[in-house]
Each structure stands twice: as C-alpha cells, then as structure tokens.
Amino acid sequence: MRRGSLLVALFLAALTLRPQLVGVGPLLPSVQDDLDVSHAVAGLLGTIPVLCMGLFAPPAPYLVARAGSRLAVAAAVLAVGAFGVARAVVPGAAGVVLLTVPVGIGMGLAGAMLPVAVKERFADRPGFATGVYTAGMTVGSAVGAAAAVPLAHLGNGWRTPLLVFGAGSVGLGAVWLLLTRAEPPHVRADVRPLRLPFRNPLAWRLVAAFFFMSSVFYGLNSWLPDAYVERGWSESSAGALLAVLNTLTIPVGFAVAWIADHRGQRRMWLAGAAFLQFAALVGVVTVPSAGWLWSVALGIAIGPLFPLTMTLPLDATTRPAEVASLAGMMLGVGYTLSATSPLILGAIRDATGGFTAVLWTLAGAAAALVLVDASFSPERLGPDRSSAEPPPQAAST
C-alpha cells in the first residue's frame, strides 16, 4: 500500500511539470494581443522553461543530497505553482516574462529530482517507476494543451488557465508531502559531481538526437496553434490540434516503447518515428487544410521519440555511473540548446511575416533527426571507451 501511494505521488508531482509550458502555446495569440509584444518576446514563454530544464538539471542532485528528495521535490513543485500563480496575476509583459524564470527553475529542478526519488524508493523496479512519472509528464502536457483555451473562455482570458495551472501545482505539491509523510524528513543521498563525457563522439550524437527531437516538440507546442489561427482557424480549434497531438503521444509512446524492447532494432523505431514526424510537418506546410490528419500523425510520431531516445544512454553504457554521465550530458546540453527553438521560430515569424518559414524550419530539424536516429546501429551505438572521459565515482541525474 505504501509503495502504491509513492507511485501516485510520483505521478502527481510529474503532472505539474508541463501544463504551464505546453498550455501557453494555444494562448500565445491572446498573450500577444493583451501584452502587445512581438512573436519573439512571446516565444520567451516557451524558451525560458526549456532553458531552465537544461541549466538546472546539474544542481538538482546536490539539493537532494542536502535536503532529501521528499522536501526537495516538494519545494520545486511548490515553486512551479506559487510563481505560476504570481505570473498569472502580475501586470505587464516584463513581469510575465521575469516570473517565467522561477517557474522554469522549479520545472528543471523537479524534473531532475524525480529520477533520484525513483532510485531511492524503487531500486528494484526503476523502469516501471520511471514509466509512471514520465506518464505523468505526458498527461500533464495533454491536459495543459486541451484545457488552456476552454479555461481562457470561461474566465479572464489567458490569465485564467495559468492561474488554474499554478494553483493546481500548489495543491499537488501539498499532496506529494501528504503521500510521502511516512518517510524520514531527510535521507542523505550519495550524490557526487558528474564528469560529463565531452570528448566522446557518441555523447554528441545523443545530444544531437535529443536537441532535434525536443526542438521540434517545443516549437510545435509554442507555435502550431498560432500558425493555424493565422490561417483562419479559431483559437479553440487550433488549440484542439495540440491537444490531439499530445493526447496521442501517451498510448502510442507506451505501446511502441514496449514493442521496441521485443521486436526490431532501436534505430528502426527511432528513424521510423522521426520520418513520420518529418512527413507530417511537410504536410502541415503543403496541405494545411488537413490539420487534423497531421496532428494525429505528429502525435503518433512524437509519442515514441522521447522514451526511445531516453533509452539510448542505457544501450550505450554498461555501468550505472556511465549511464548518469551520458544521460546528464544529453539532457543538460540538449535541453539548453533546444530552449532557443521557440524564440528563434518567433523571430523567424517576425522577420518573414508568416509561419511558412517557421514550419519549414521545423521540417528541416525533423529531417536532421531522421539522419541522426538512423545512425544508431548496434555497432555504432556501442560504448566508445577510447574517446570517453573516465566515469564518475557516483552520480544521479
């Protein structure tokens, strides 16, 4: 029973980490009109949280070591909620952008702390427990995308959904503390600095795979609804495209990740999903009227990409410390680089006056992902010990 409550706690904590990021995408046209800002400035609402996911993943284990994962996760989730509420009510564009920073910091810290919490509580079933909290993140993305516009229509415009998401995160942070209350208030974890394998060519290929994958995902979540609003769709319909996309990623991601462990090579599933994503993006540009079809195709393609990409460090290493080192570099550098996607795409929209160039840029990134994912043959994915830095003594990410 206690382990069941811990799994619920993991799911609910993870549920808070995406709505205030993904939910902003359908609201950007209203945000721009209300705050009178450019597409580039509005893109900061998508850029800042993703950047924080990269920058604040490395210090998260140190916070866990000092405060214990129970209190550290609670503090991060409560920060997401409290600053999210403040962002929803602060007047002016400057305040909204500035308060996005602590929201993003909370997301970045909590996202890196949850694997530590899994390691401490479910060392015997780490894969299953990881699947539970990643499912929470995916469900949070779908809920954020689906609920943003309806909540805006029910309340005071775009501020209402952000207020609801923030208040919900505060509540779920309290639930996390309640469900984990039987644990000691502080358990010191054996967490030491990572030595990232910057001289390992394989590590940089993993960074490239994660960068192109997440750049497309966050670019779509930021600008796909706005692109369709510009084409004459209502905000509700354009937001529903994103909701369909994110909802489909949940079952498809689970199914393909399970099948990939039993059938075929990893690169076959990765490259196949990446190619479908590329084809769907070309369809969005060339046949935009079939938006629902492309949304379904994108959801089917994107669903497997994240869990399969996250397994690559496991395929490429033999020891837990090496997994942590390789995954730490992939996530830290990959998230940091991909954080520029919404901002750059917004600047492209401002410079060109339309979303066609934006969508072609996303299609180009998707094409690059096909090439990178197709390179992960079993032989080339094998550890390159000669170019890797010595593994750390102990690490957690």
Do 161 and 234 belong to one domain? no
What's 19's domain CATH number? 1.20.1250.20
Residues 6+ apart with CB under 8 A from 364: none
Asked if 332 and 205 sit in the same domain, the reply is yes
The verdict on 163 and 204 lying in the same domain is: no
What secondary structure letter does DSSP report for 186?
A: -
Determine the structural domain holding residue 214 and report its residue range.
200-384
- Contact by Cβ (8 Å): 141, 249: yes
Token pair belonging to 391 = 């593994």
Residue 393 inside a domain? The answer is: no
Interior CA angle at 143 toward 51 and 39, to 5°?
45
Q: What is the mean pLDDT of the chain?
A: 84
- Specify whether 233 is located in the same domain as 264: yes
Q: Are residues 299 and 371 in the same domain?
A: yes
Name the domain boundary from 165, 193, 221. Answer: 193
From residue 138, give the alpha-carbon distance in Å to each of 26, 240, 332: 17, 16, 20
- Mean local confidence (pLDDT), 57-84: 87
Give the amino acid at 325: S
Q: What is the pLDDT of residue 380?
A: 60
How much is the average pLDDT of 59-82? Answer: 87
In this structure, is residue 397 part of a structural domain? no
Indicate if 64 and 182 belong to the same structural domain: yes
Tens-place pLDDT, residues 201-256: 888 999 999 999 999 998 998 889 999 999 999 988 998 898 899 889 888 887 88
Instruction: Count the alpha carbons within 13 Å of 28 in the hemisphere toward its beta carbon.
Output: 34
Q: Are residues 175 and 236 in the same domain?
A: no
What are the counts of helices (DSSP H) followed by strands (DSSP E) for the chain? 17, 0
Residue 26, in any domain of the structure = yes
- The confidence score (pLDDT) of residue 318 equals 67
Count of the separate structural domains present in the chain: 2
Identify whether residues 81 and 215 lie together within a single domain. no
Whether residue 142 lies inside any domain: the answer is: yes
Lowest mean pLDDT among 100-104, 117-121, 272-276, 382-386: 382-386
Q: Which two tokens stand for residue 62?
A: 């140190």
One domain for residues 223 and 179? no
The whole-model pTM stands at 0.75
pLDDT of 396 above 70: no
Residue 390 lies in a domain: no
For residues 37 and 211, the answer to whether their CB atoms sit within 8 Å is: no
Q: Is residue 164 located within the same domain as residue 237?
A: no
DSSP, res 1: -
**Would you state the pLDDT for residue 382?**
54
343 with 269, same domain?
yes
pLDDT score of 385 more than 50: no
Q: Does the structure show a pLDDT above 80 at 351?
A: yes
311-319: average pLDDT: 72
Both tokens of 300, joined, read: 């089917």
pLDDT exceeds cutoff 80 at 386: no
Q: Are residues 268 and 138 in the same domain?
A: no
User: Residue 199 and residue 182: Cα distance in Å, rounded?
Assistant: 44
Only one residue has tokens 């902003």, namely 24
Compute the residue count for the chain. 397
**Confidence tier at 299 by pLDDT (50, 70, 90):** very high
**Residue predicted with more confidence, 292 or 335:** 292
For residue 81, pLDDT beyond 80: yes
CA distance 35 to 279: 35
Nearest to 218 by CA among 21, 17, 16: 21
pLDDT at position 187 over 90: no
Tokens of 226: 């706005």
In a domain, 48, yes or no: yes
* Residue 300 in domain: yes
Q: What pLDDT digit, counting tens, does each position of 13-61 carry? A: 999 999 999 889 889 889 999 999 998 888 899 889 988 988 887 777 6
Beta strands in 184-307 (DSSP E): none
Given 128, 163, 193, the domain boundary residue is 193
Tokens of 332: 């830290």
Q: Give me the mean pLDDT over the 129-146 stretch.
A: 82
What is the rounded CA–CA span in Å between residue 256 and residue 253?
Answer: 5
d(CA 27, CA 147): 11
Q: Collect all residues with Cβ–Cβ distance below 8 Å to 156 and sequence separation of at least 6.
A: none
Cα gap 149→156, rounded to integer Å = 11
pLDDT of amino acid 127: 55
Indicate whether 123 belongs to any domain.
yes
Q: What pLDDT score does 389 carry?
A: 42
Q: Point out the domain boundary residue: 178, 193, 208.
A: 193
CB 332 within 8 A of CB 57: yes
* Choice between 166 and 137, residue whose per-residue pLDDT is larger: 166
Question: What is the band of 384 on the pLDDT scale with cuts at 50, 70, 90?
Answer: very low
Q: How far is it, in rounded angstroms, from Cα 158 to Cα 23? A: 10
